[in-house]
Every structure is written in structure tokens, then in C-alpha cells.
Chain A
Amino acid sequence: MDNPAFTRIQAQIDAAPVVLFMKGNPMFPQCGFSARVVQILKHSGVQFSSVNVLEDPEIREGIKEFSDWPTIPQLYIKGEFVGGCDIVTEMFQAGELQALLAEKGITQDAAA
């Protein structure tokens, strides 16, 4: 952990059960891939916090190394890296995302 961004990223991941590192914010995503993951999370009725990497170059670069993942968005559930847009979409379509959320004890409110 020699990268100063890693400490901040870890704190952001620990701050909420579901954390999405994205471009823009859930109200105004600034990239189609980020928008898709927001949509999936909203559809699942999951409360999540988000980090706008466009506002923070240190996080934007740091998160790629932190997760060993070259692209944004990146989804973390209970401190664990789940994946980017493709994986989250595939998991959602297969019902695996919902199963993972349930397994981690995260409330999914279908009415949301």
C-alpha cells in the first residue's frame, strides 16, 4: 500500500455496503457503461453510494491499480470487487447479482 490513493479508496469501499466507482453521478452518469450499472442497481432496489472518478484524478488512476482493472465503472459489494459493466450485466441477467446481494445480506427493495 505505497500508493496514497489506496488508503482513500479503501476508506470509500469500507464506508458503504455497495459502492460504485463511476463517471458522473447516479443522477447524471457521464458514460454509457456507468449508466448501465446505475440502472441495474436501481432496478434491483439497492441502496448504494457512488464515487465520481471524474472529480478526482488520483482516485481515477488509483482505482485501476487497486482493483487490477483497467476500466470504470467498478462495483464493490461488502468490500469485495465484483466487476465492471460487462460482468455486472451478465450476473444480473443470470440472477447471480441478486443472489450475491442476498447472500451478503443487502436489502433489495423491488418497489424502488
Chain B
Amino acid sequence: MAMPASEIEALIKTAFPDAQITIEDLAGDNDHFAATIVSEAFRGLPRIRQHQLVYAALKGNMGGALHALALQTSAPE
């Protein structure tokens, strides 16, 4: 069960067209990623809500096909 970074990025980009996305494959196994996402959509929201928006964008893959995705979200400076 794995999900390539390009697919993760595409799903996030669809939900947050303005987003600046950096995805790092932590273990080189297409299964453990860290993503940094900067989007206006996050402005003013608590972190839990920001991450929930990202999980929603991933359409149920988080915790399933996608085992580990460390998230860092913020609004542009």
C-alpha cells in the first residue's frame, strides 16, 4: 500500500489551487511522507482545522493507502 508523491500533490492542488506544496519522501519507500503546505485557505484556522482540510482533500486515503504523512500547514506570510 503506497501512494506516490505526485498523486498526493495532485489531490492537494485540486483542493487548494493556490497552495505551495513541498513533499518529502522520508524513507524512500513511497509510504512515509512529510508535506509542507502554504495556502490562503488556512488563514485564521486552528491547526486541527487546517489538517482536517488537508485530510479531506486526500479523500480518505490518509490512514489507508497513505500510512504516514507528517503535515505542516500555514497561510502565506
Contact = CB atoms under 8 A, between A and B. Distances in A.
A86 B51 CA distance: 10
A69 to B, nearest CB: 7
Interface residues of B: mostly helix, strand, loop or mixed?
A: mixed
A81 B62 CA distance: 18
B70 interface: yes
A71 interface: yes
Given A33-B68, A86-B70, A90-B72, A70 B62 contact: yes
A54 interface: no
Nearest to B66: A70
Given A87-B47, A87-B48, A70 B71 contact: no
A86 B48 CA distance: 10
A33 to B, nearest CB: 7
Contacts of A71: 62-63
B52 A87 contact: no
Contacts of A24: none
B51 A83 contact: yes
A91 to B, nearest CB: 8
Interface in B46-77: 47-48, 51-52, 55, 60, 62-64, 68, 70-72
